């Protein structure tokens, strides 16, 4: 079983730049995550991105930061079906975890055009479908607010010397992307088990791992070290009554209606509720709703379902969700905030 798990296909990308500066080492020999050539990772950029991630001045009324939805305790996801925006508009889709997001070929639930974290970061900040942080059309306040802070001016100058320390949406997005690329999580019990620690997973979880990779037919889509093929699938019959058309909203192809990206499963025990609309409250519910693509889930006994859930729970890297390197910084520029 160990061999089978270790034999999962590793995702390998063509790299356009240097690997993340802060956390490049990977004990599972996962290929380095791609980094855009125009946004090489530096410590200054990561430090700035971390501060920005927790700064609610990136929302129109100062009430929402990235961390409002992407909370570390939940592996940078959120525990509600959807999260309303800063102005009270209803959220549209469930908040995705940011763990290992540097390796994601596509980002968001159903937009294959969003392939870089730099692009993705602007969506909640300025997007209007739905309005989340509410700065669409008001991007100028970024320079006004952040530029009024001497420490921010210093941090932008250090992070973007080639751009003259410009404070703008583009540099904010680059810094946020650099910080998110450091969110590497490969210390779950499953990882330790794959490295040879036979005590890392319970017997129940090990049986669940076998089911996951075998008869339960999960690993066809939840593949690779991050347990996602990055592709778009339809789990349930589409219905015109569903307000969210998924991939079809982007492609315009009716055949893509109801197709959503396979979410990575690391930390899945912390990131519920599940599915693009948060409509599956528990892992058991979520597993059961895969019957159209994995009919075997209907044949699972309750004991086997428990084993599958035990395996999924073993994908939680508890060190990651308490790692102080990802927490809200308490000091900037040598001073307490």
Rounded least distance, CB 68 to another protein, Å:
6
- Enumerate the β-bridge partners of residue 71: 77
By CB under 8 A, is residue 63 in contact with another protein?
yes
Side-chain-side CA neighbours of residue 20 (13 Å): 25
Query: Which span (32-40, 49-57, 284-292, 301-309) binds another protein, by CB under 8 A?
Result: 49-57
49, two tokens? 């991105």
Instruction: Detail the DSSP E strand segments found in 16-116.
Output: none
Task: Report angle CA 310, 217, 306 to the nearest 5 degrees.
Answer: 20
Q: Which of 39, 41, 42, 65 binds another protein (CB under 8 A)?
A: 65
Q: How far is the CB of 155 from another protein (least distance, A)?
A: 16
Decide: is 131 part of the binding site for another protein (CB under 8 A): yes
Specify the residue, 58 or 211, whose C-beta has the smaller distance to another protein: 58
Does residue 118 touch another protein according to CB under 8 A? no
Least distance in Å: CB of 86 to another protein?
7
Question: Exactly one of 61, 253, 318, 322 binds another protein (CB under 8 A); which one?
Answer: 61
| Binding region for another protein (CB under 8 A) out of 58-66, 112-120, 243-251, 304-312 | 58-66
User: Does the protein bind another protein through residue 64 (CB under 8 A)?
Assistant: yes
128 sits near another protein (criterion: CB under 8 A): yes
Query: Is 145 a binder of another protein (CB under 8 A)?
Result: yes
Token couple for 287: 């597993």
Query: Residue 146 corresponds to which tokens in the numbers above?
Result: 């952040």
Considering only 35, 66, 77, 86, the residue that binds another protein (CB under 8 A) is 86
- Does 62 sit near another protein (CB under 8 A)? yes
Question: Which stretch in 22-30, 95-103, 129-137, 199-207 sits in contact with another protein by CB under 8 A?
Answer: 129-137
Closest to another protein by CB, 62 vs 295, is 62
Only segment of 11-19, 66-74, 206-214, 287-295 that touches another protein (CB under 8 A): 66-74
Contacts of the segment 196-203: beta carbons below 8 A, 24+ positions apart = 196/2, 198/2, 200/314, 201/311, 201/314, 202/310, 202/314
Please state, in angstroms and rounded to a whole number, the distance separating the CA atoms of residues 120 and 176.
10
For residues 303, 305, 308, 314, the Cα torsion angle rounded to the nearest 10 degrees is -80
Token digits for 231? Answer: 């592709």
Give the largest Cα separation in the chain, rounded: 62
**Residue 59 makes contact with another protein by CB under 8 A:** yes
Nearer to another protein, 299 or 325 (CB): 325
Residue with tokens 């086997």: 304
- Among 112, 136, 147, 288, the residue binding another protein under the rule CB under 8 A is 136
**Is 145 or 153 the residue whose CB approaches another protein more closely?**
145
* CA–CA separation, 43 and 28 (whole Å): 24
The secondary structure of 141-201 as a DSSP string is HHHHHHHT-HHHHHHHHHH-GGGTT--SHHHHHHHHHHHHTT-----SHHHHHHTT-TTSS
- Peptide bond connecting 249 to the previous residue in cis, omega within 30 degrees of 0: no
Kindly state the number of chain residues that form the binding site for another protein, as judged by CB under 8 A: 29
Q: Which of residues 88-107 bind another protein (CB under 8 A)?
A: 88
In angstroms, rounded to a whole number, what is the distance separating the alpha carbons of residues 226 and 57?
A: 32
Q: Within 272-331, which residues bind another protein (CB under 8 A)?
A: 328, 330
Q: Where are the beta strands (DSSP E) in the chain?
A: 232-233, 260-261, 331-332, 335-336
Output the smallest distance, CB 34 to another protein, in A: 26
Residues making contact with another protein (CB under 8 A): 55-59, 61-65, 67-68, 71, 84, 86-88, 128-129, 131, 134, 136-138, 145, 148, 328, 330, 337
């Amino acid at each position: 079983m160990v061999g089978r798990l270790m034999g999962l296909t590793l995702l390998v990308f063509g790299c356009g730049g240097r690997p993340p500066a802060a956390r490049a080492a990977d004990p599972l020999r996962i290929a380095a995550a791609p980094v855009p050539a125009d946004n090489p990772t530096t410590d200054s950029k990561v430090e700035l991105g971390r501060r920005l991630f927790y700064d609610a001045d990136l929302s129109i009324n100062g009430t929402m930061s990235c961390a409002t939805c992407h909370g570390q305790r939940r592996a940078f996801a959120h525990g509600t079906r959807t999260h309303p925006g800063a102005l009270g508009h209803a959220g549209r889709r469930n908040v995705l975890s940011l763990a290992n997001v540097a390796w994601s070929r596509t980002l968001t639930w159903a937009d294959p055009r969003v392939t870089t974290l730099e692009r993705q970061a602007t969506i909640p900040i300025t997007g209007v479908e739905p309005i989340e942080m509410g700065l669409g059309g008001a991007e100028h306040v970024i320079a006004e607010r952040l530029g009024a802070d001497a420490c921010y001016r210093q941090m932008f100058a250090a992070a973007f010397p080639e751009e003259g320390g410009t404070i703008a949406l583009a540099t904010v997005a680059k810094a946020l992307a650099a910080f998110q690329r450091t969110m590497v999580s490969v210390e779950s019990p499953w990882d330790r088990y794959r490295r040879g620690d036979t005590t890392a997973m319970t017997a129940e979880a090990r049986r669940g791992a076998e089911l996951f990779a075998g008869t339960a037919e999960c690993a066809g889509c939840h593949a690779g070290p991050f347990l996602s093929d990055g592709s778009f699938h339809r789990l349930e019959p589409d219905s015109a009554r569903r307000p969210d058309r998924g991939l079809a909203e982007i492609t315009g192809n009716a055949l893509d209606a109801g197709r959503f990206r396979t979410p990575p499963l690391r930390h899945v025990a912390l990131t519920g509720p599940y599915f693009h609309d948060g409509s599956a409250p528990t892992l058991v519910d979520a597993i059961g709703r895969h019957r159209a693509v994995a009919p075997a889930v209907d044949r699972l006994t309750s004991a086997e379902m428990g084993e599958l859930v035990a395996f999924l729970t073993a994908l939680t890297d508890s060190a990651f969700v308490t790692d102080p390197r990802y927490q809200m910084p308490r000091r900037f520029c040598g001073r307490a905030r």
